[in-house]
Structure formats: C-alpha cells, structure tokens
Amino acid sequence: MSTATAAPPATNGHGETENFLTAGYGFKTWLLTLDHKRIGLLYLGCITVVFLMGGFFAGMIRAELMTPQGDLVGAETYNKMFTLHGVLMIFFFLIPSVPAVLGNFVLPIMIGAKDVAFPKLNLLSWYMYASGALLALLAMVLGGVDTGWTFYTPYSSTYANGYVALVVVGVFVNGFSSILTGLNFMVTVHKMRAPGMTWFRLPLFIWAQYATSMIMLLGTPVVAITLLLVVLERVLHIGIFDPRYGGDPILFQHMFWFYSHPAVYIMILPGFGVVSEIIACFSRKAIFGYSFVAFSSLAIAVLGFLVWGHHMFTTGQSMYASMVFSFITFFIAVPTAVKIFNWTATLYKGSISLKSPMLYALGFIGLFLIGGLTGLFLSTLGTDIHLHDTYFVVAHFHYVMVGGMVMAFLGGVHFWWPKMTGRMYPETLAKISAALVFVGFNLTFFPQFIMGYLGMPRRYHTYPPEFQVYHVMSTAGATVLGLGYVLLIAYLLWSVYKGPKAPANPWAAKGLEWNIPSPPVVTNFDTTPVVTWEPYPYEQPEEHPSDSQHAYPKKQEEHLV
Amino acid sequence: MSKEWFPLLPEQASTFAWQVDALYLLLVGLSVFFTIAIIAVIIYFSIKYRRRSESERPAAIHGNLPLELAWSIIPMFMCIGVFALGADLFFNMYRTPTDGIDIYVVGKQWMWKVQHPEGKREINTLHVPVNQTIRLTLTSEDVIHSFYIPAFRTKKDAVPGRYNTMWFEATQVGEYHLFCAEYCGTQHSGMIGRVYVMELDDYQRWLVSTSAGGEATGQSMAQLGEVQFQQLGCQTCHKAEPGGRGPDLNGVFGKPVELASGETVRVDETYLRESILTPAAKLVKGYPPIMPAFQGQVSEETLAQLVEYVKSLGAAKK
C-alpha cells in the first residue's frame, strides 16, 4: 500500500483521483486553507490536544480525591486544576467539538454545497479559536487561575490571584470563533442548499446545527460583554459586580448564565443531530417523526434562553422569579423526552446493526436519559435547594456533557471517520473502547449522584471521611474511562496510516456525503447534485439514480479511473 | 455521623428533611421507571430486529401523530405535577416565619462568624435549640459563600452587600455538618464546621456559659449596637424625640416609611443596613441628604449589632 506522503498531487499510480487531503502538502497548505474539510480537521487536531490536557487535569483531580486529606497537591493547585479542567473542556473542547469539527466537515456536503458561505471567515474562526486557546494556555503556563470556569464575581473580579484577565480574554477571543461559525452555518444553510434540498429534506443533523448556530449567534455576545466587564472591574475597579464599588455580584450570575445555560444546548443539540444520523443509518429506517425531532431542536434552542435563573435558586433571587424559571425549565424536558422516544421508536421494525457508531449512539441515549432525568431533580425547586452546588450537580452535567455530547461526538467521529480520512479503523477495538467508555463513565459518575445527595459539596479539595467510599469508586471508574479514550485515540491514529482504504459508503448510508468518494475531492461534488428524494430513504434498496456511479462502493476505484 | 458503609440518604434532622426526601424518592422512582423502560425497549428492539442479512430494507414508518402527541403531552403533565410539588416546598422554605430566634451569620474567607442576639459569638459552629424556628440572616464580608446543612436539606448563599435569610426547625438533637457550598477561594473546603442541635435548656445554658465553646461577650447584640451607635455619633441626629436632624428611630422597625421619591418601603434589616451604608439610596421623606455614608467603615458584624439595636428600640416602645 503506497503511503500518501510520497505521492505527488493529482492522480497517483493507483488510479486514485486527487482528494482534499492530497490536494497540497506542507504546513502552508493547511494553515492557509479555505477548504471547510481541512478546517474541520484543523479543529479536530486542536480539540484533541485540549481534550488530552483537560483529561489530564481530570485524572489529577480524581487521584487527589482518592483520600479525604489533601495529600497529592495543595489546595491552590487543586483549585487551579478544576478551573483549567472546566475552562478547557467547556470553552475549548465541548463547544467547538461537534459544530466546528463534524459540522465543518459534513454540513456543506450534506446540503450539496461546495463549501460554507464564507470560507475565509471560516478560517478566521479557526484562528480565533487557536489564539483564544493559546492565551488560555499562556495563562496556564504562567501560573494558572483558580476562579472555577464560572468566574463568579466578586471572587474573580477582586479577590482571585492568578491570570484571570488573560484566561478571560482567551475565552472572549474564542467566543468570536463561535459567533462567526454560527453565522457562517446559518447563511450556508439558508443560501447554499442544492436544488431540491428543501428545509424538510434536510438531514436532522443540519436542523440541530442550525438551532445551535442560532444560540451561538445570539448568546455568545452576552458572555463576551460579561467577561469584558469582569476584566474592566479587575483592572480599573469600575463598580459593576463588586458591592465594595457599588456593584451587584448577582448581576454577573444573571449575565453569565444568560449565555452559559443556552451554551449547554450548544454542547448537546449538535449531539442530537449526530445521533439522529447514526440511528437512522444503523437501523435502516427513516427517523420516526422527523418534524417533531426537527422542531424540538428549535424549541430547546428558544426555551434555553428563558431558564438561566434556575442556576440561582439559592442566591436570594425573588421567589416568584425562581418559580417562573423552574416552570419553564420543566418545559424543556418535553422536547427532550420527545427526541428520546422518537429515536427509540425508530428502532422498531428496523434492521439493526450494532457497529461501533451505533454502540456510541445507543450509549448516548442511555446516558443522556439519566442526565436529563436527573436534571428534573435540579429544576424541582424543593430538591434543588439541597442539591445545588453538590456532587449531584457535577454528576448531572457530566452525564449530559460527557455521557451525552462526548458519546455523540465519538459516535460521529466513528461514523464519518472513513469519509474524513479515507481509512477504516479496526471495528473490534472500536467496540472494546466503546464498552470501556460506557462502563468507565457510569462507574465514575453514578456514585457522584449518591455522594451529592448525601451533601458532598463540589470543588472541595478535602472532605469528611464518610464520602471516601464513593470517591474511590469514582476514581476507579475514571481509570477505566481514561483507558477507553487512550485506546480510541491510539487506533484512530493508527488507522490514518495503516487502516484499510475506506469505500465511499461503508455503512450503506443515505445522504449526499455518502454519494461522493472517501475522502472527498476539494470541491466535494463534480456537478451540483439535484435532490429529488425525502430524507433517510433507507427503505429503497438501491442508491438514487443520480448517484448510480457510486452505487457499488467496492468497485469505486475502477469507476473513477 | 452515619455509620453505614454505603449510606444513601443523609440524616433527617429538620422539618424540611423528610419533605425533601419524599420528593427526591418520588423523582428517583420516576427516573428509574423511565430509564429501565426505555433501555429495556432499546435492548429488546436491538435483539428482535437485529440485521439478519445485508440486503434487508425494512419499510419506513414516518411517524404516528397520536402516539407522538401522547408522549409529548403525558410527560408535560407529569412535569407540571412535579413542578407544583417542588414549588410548594420551596414556598415554605423561602417564606421565613416572622417569629423565631434571629441569628446573624457572616461569611468571610474562610470562616463562618455567628452572632446570637444574646451576644454570644462563635466561629465555624452553630448552636441552636431543637424544635424552634431559627431564622438566619446571612451576609458576607468578601466573596459569595453558601451556608449549607445537609442534614437539614437547606442552604442559602451569603452574598456580599446584601442580607439573605433562611430558616429551619431542627427536629433531632445531635451534631451535623456545616459546609460552604459556594466556591470561595483557596481554603473553600476548609470553610466547614458543625451545627449542634441542643435541648432548649441546654441552649440557654450555653448562651451564658463562658466555657462551653463560643465567645461570651456578656452583652446582647442590641447593647453592643447601642455602644456603636454612640461611638459613631448616630445619636447626635437620630434623637429619641421628634425634631432631630435625622428620623426618630423609636418604633420604626417593621413599619412602612415614606421616601423622598414618593415610594413607601417597610423598614426591615435590609433597609436599615442599606440606610447606614448608603443613606442617600432610599432617603426618608422630609429629611435632607446630610448623613455620611458608612460604606467601608463598619464591619458586617457591627452592622448587625446596629440593626439589632434599632430593632430593640421598636420593641421597647410597644
């Protein structure tokens, strides 16, 4: 098998056409690329590095919490570690994970476009992301920051030591990456759909990306303003948040959560989209209740903006405000439940294949279900007062963010990996790692629900000894989880160089991205496709007439000579 | 403390505890039911409809409107039900009874400072009598803290610049955890303490004891406040008769007062605190804005004593 590095551009000796990976070599062709697929891979590289760093801090936190005393690291170091874990994982991993990696790669192809609407803006987004991440990294190297990823005032604005301003500016700059990506995707979906690709023929992944983009565009500016005010108060002592200067610390929480609650949906809605694609493909069924699933994404995006006060039930916020926020929060449970029921119903009378992407998607449903249901405990006013700021909250949002979004992201990575790299990964190892991740995850975070109800507060460096049994279980689970992730990264990297060549459509999936070669050519489509079919036509035995030349993936190479 | 190896519920030591636990167990029941039901269906479908041949092309089922409406509307009503139960309990937690023992708590990096109206002070411990309504007035001298007693199933943030109140009624004599639940800096996890629930007689003995923990000042908070009132020179304008340059404070506590802006506010702890620190914020009608602001000049503990003193002026008149 010839390795790609030695091959010149254009066609090589094996009759392969030039694809987007072989279209140019060297750093410059990557760093100045305007190709949405390459930009997606640039993001993938960056977020993988961030994920490993964030994961390292998580490992250190879990190791420290093995014993009730603070014996591995000091209190200050511990506080810096959970802060950096949160900042890296939320702002620099989860938020860009599905939208910026998978969204960039497949969104234009799925709608039959040659690229996003504004390719240069797209590259600028990546540079914004990378600069933000570098600023955060610089702060980390200089000495870190210990405010928690929530940057609550007046601690962050007046009392905290460390490089708060630097990290906050990093998050601020990164915010522009989100805003520009959201803008780009919205315009792309509106203006660049192929002929015949009507709104209700869009794959559900696109609906989810669209809803996410809406939140990115409307919400991110608010957190940008808020964080800028924290920097101004820290540097110039203007009185916005610190009561000593006449400010109100609770105002910060309102402004912060006005973005950061919807940001939770930035982190989960794209995952819903990925899961819809995978479940349809591996049960060979159209998604049950397409329009319910599509509109529930929009409903979640809109309602998500009206519930921020549910983070503030114990702050002394007015009782009636708390009741309204609680009430609206319960209404988010409805579209969320609808999605879970509809995915389950999609399996009914399907042809179900438990390939690794499907294992991740089904794992997602199980874990997200628990994450969602435990959200009800926290939206219920009477129980939230007790549970607020305990490990119950920690467990809840890890079930949603890691059990939900990371599982969906990994499912998506496995699903589109052959398309992105042109290589297949070893399926058995993939199944083993999916199982390790699922088991390790539950062992890590399930004990935290119990520990939280018992009253274990979050962000504690030391703790009373009666909680130790649950902390030990959690740390044991984290070890298994870590092994799963390491295995996964190892075989995916291996497959890039040594994996067997992937056919155009290894899963017999429907959707425009499967009608073009793996990996795609730079312009995605030789001729703009014309869409004449409804989404997810899995009941049809053959591919569509319009793409008959790719109907037999195994023979694709001969076809394309 | 709990002796079990795998405790599942914390001790129940307040009137809220069993109510919160009941609601929690209801939610656990609902969650377990839905989780098991959905996972069982997924496993059943995955086996029953497993792919038997690569050529399988099952017929599409595009949806079923009545079914989808059913599984939208039924969960919605369940949600509204749970919301109502939670809101009702919250209503009871939030509405502080007016009678009861008032205790002032100030959070400070990294300790809890507690003052009892009788003058006893303590740090990182809270002594309370059993079966009595206890009202805590919370604030902070620096960052946000949160006063959390898991055995009582309640917490409230101590926010700098404002008073928050919380209440509870302990039901069981014993010793319980007190945690700071809001991350407040380096020694956050060291900002913990003990709550001692005692029989009323024991509590009253403790209040005057000099040896049983805490610092006995020998004077009530109101008396300490009166000393401060003199030292800060408040009495030169706030005279005990009409005609002073500032309003007469006798009997004002708990009464409505008309402001220069035309609004009316009820004189409570929060209003008194604000009027000492930034008098111009809510000026009483008919008085010039001549009082100096004490922002940054009196500690939260002294403020609480001044507030108790003004409260006692009201009680003396009635």
Question: Which domain CATH number covers B306?
Answer: 1.10.760.10
| Three-state secondary structure call for residue B102 | strand
Whole-number Å distance between alpha carbons of B117 and B114 = 10
Residues of A in contact with B143 (CB under 8 A): 152, 154-155, 158-159, 249
Q: Are B250 and B317 in contact (CB under 8 A)?
A: yes
Q: Indicate yes or no: CB of A381 within 8 angstroms of CB of B19.
A: no
Residue ending a domain, among B192, B218, B244, is B218
- In chain A, residues with a C-beta closer than 8 Å to the C-beta of B62 are 286, 288-290
Task: Indicate the SS3 state at residue A238.
Answer: coil
Interface mutation vs chain A, best among B49, B65, B194, most A CBs within 10 Å: B49
Tell me how many domains chain B contains. Answer: 2
In a domain, A560, yes or no: no
Whether residue B308 sits in one domain with residue B229: yes
Can you tell me the mean pLDDT for B123-145? 95
Per DSSP, helices labelled H in A2-74 are 27-31, 36-64
Shortest Cα–Cα distance, A343 to chain B (Å): 9
* Final residue in a domain of this structure, among B152, B185, B218: B218
C-alpha distances (whole Å) from A141 to each of A9, A52, A174, A264 are: 40, 16, 18, 28
Is residue B308 less than 8 Å (CB to CB) from chain A?
no
B190 and B277 both lie in a single domain: no
Cα–Cα distance list, B153 to A310, A386, B26, B105, B148 (Å) = 18, 5, 16, 18, 8
Of A248, A288, A323, the CB nearest to B87: A323
pLDDT-derived band at B3 (thresholds 50, 70, 90) equals low
**Residue A559 counted as domain residue:** no
Nearest CA in chain A to B36: A366
Residue B81 maps to a domain: no
Contact between chains at A365 and B42 (C-beta distance less than 8 A)? yes
Pairing type for strands B174-180 and B193-198 reads: antiparallel
Q: Is the pLDDT of residue A203 over 70?
A: yes
> What sections of A284-318 are H helices per DSSP?
290-303
Lowest mean pLDDT among B41-50, B124-133, B248-257: B248-257
Of B218, B242, B259, the domain-final residue: B218
Whole domain around residue A392: which residue ranges? 23-541
**In terms of residue numbers, what domain contains B267?**
221-317
A349 contact residues in B (CB cutoff 8 A): 49, 58-59, 61
Task: Specify the range with the lowest mean pLDDT, choosing from A332-341, A514-523, B284-293.
Answer: B284-293
Indicate the range of A116-130, A154-168, A278-292, B210-224 predicted with least confidence: B210-224
Residue B273 placed within a domain: yes
Beta bridge partners of B121: B115, B215
Q: Which residue has the higher pLDDT, A340 or A1?
A: A340
Domain count, chain A: 1
Tell whether A120 is covered by a domain: yes
pLDDT band at B42 (very low <50, low <70, confident <90, very high): very high
Q: Whose structure tokens read 């879970």?
A: A340
- What does the block give as tokens for B315? 């009680």
Domain CATH code at residue B35: 2.60.40.420
Say if residue B168 is in the same domain as residue B29.
yes
pLDDT-based confidence at residue A7 (cuts at 50, 70, 90): very low
What average pLDDT does this structure show over B16-39? 96
Q: Are residues B131 and B225 in the same domain?
A: no
Q: How high does pLDDT run on average in chain A?
A: 91
Tokens of A108: 């234009």
Res A162 pLDDT > 90: no
Give residues 284 to 303 of B whose Cβ lies within 8 Å of A: 295-296
Report CB contact under 8 Å: A337, B72. Answer: yes
**Per the domain annotation, does A97 fall within a domain?**
yes
Q: Which residues 102-141 in chain B show a CB within 8 A of chain A? A: 109
What tens digit of pLDDT does each residue of A314-373 get?
999 999 999 999 999 999 999 999 999 999 999 999 999 999 999 999 999 999 999 999
The confidence band for B251, taking pLDDT boundaries of 50, 70 and 90, is: confident
Give residue A356's identity as a one-letter amino acid code.
S
Q: What is the spatial distance between Cα B294 and Cα A523, in angstroms, rounded to a whole number?
A: 70
pLDDT digits (tens, 9 = 90+) for A444-480: 999 999 999 999 999 999 999 999 999 999 999 999 9
Please tell me whether residues B155 and B34 are part of one structural domain: yes
B56 and A349 Cβ atoms separated by less than 8 Å:
no
Query: Is B38 a residue whose pLDDT tops 60?
Result: yes
Which residue in the set A337, A342, A385 is minimally distant from B93, CB to CB? A385
Same domain as B206, residue B175: yes
In a domain, B63, yes or no: no
A561 falls within a domain = no
Q: Which position has the token pair 């089904």?
A: A362
CB A298 within 8 A of CB A211: yes
Q: What is the pLDDT of residues A40-50, one digit of tens each?
A: 999 999 999 99
- Residue at A145 is within a domain: yes
Residues 25-84 of A with CB under 8 A from B: 70, 75-76, 79
Q: What is the CATH number of the domain that holds A225?
A: 1.20.210.10
Determine the residue among B62, B73, B277 to mutate to test chain A binding: the one whose Cβ has the most chain A Cβ atoms within 10 Å.
B62
Asked whether residue B180 is assigned to any structural domain, the reply reads: yes
pLDDT at B289 over 50: yes
Q: Do residues B156 and B301 both lie within one domain?
A: no
The pLDDT assigned to A540 comes to 85
Domain shared by B29 and B154, yes or no:
yes
ipTM (interface pTM) = 0.93
pLDDT band at B288 (very low <50, low <70, confident <90, very high): confident
Interface of A with B in 251-310 (CB under 8 A): 283-286, 288-292
pTM of the model: 0.92
Q: With contact defined as beta carbons under 8 Å apart, do B137 and B102 qualify?
A: yes
Q: Is A362 on the interface with B (CB under 8 A)?
A: yes
Shared domain check, B249 and B213: no
Q: Are residues B191 and B274 in the same domain?
A: no
How does residue A105 score in pLDDT terms, banded at 50, 70 and 90?
very high
Query: B144 with B118, same domain?
Result: yes
B106 and B15 assigned to the same domain: yes
**Structural domain includes residue A342:** yes
B197 part of a folded domain: yes
Say whether residue B41 is in contact with chain A using an 8 A CB cutoff.
yes
B72 lies in a domain?
Answer: no
Chain B nearest C-alpha distance from A536 (Å): 9
In a domain, A555, yes or no: no
B59 and chain A: CB distance < 8 Å anywhere? yes
Give the C-alpha separation, A387 to A56, whole Å: 28
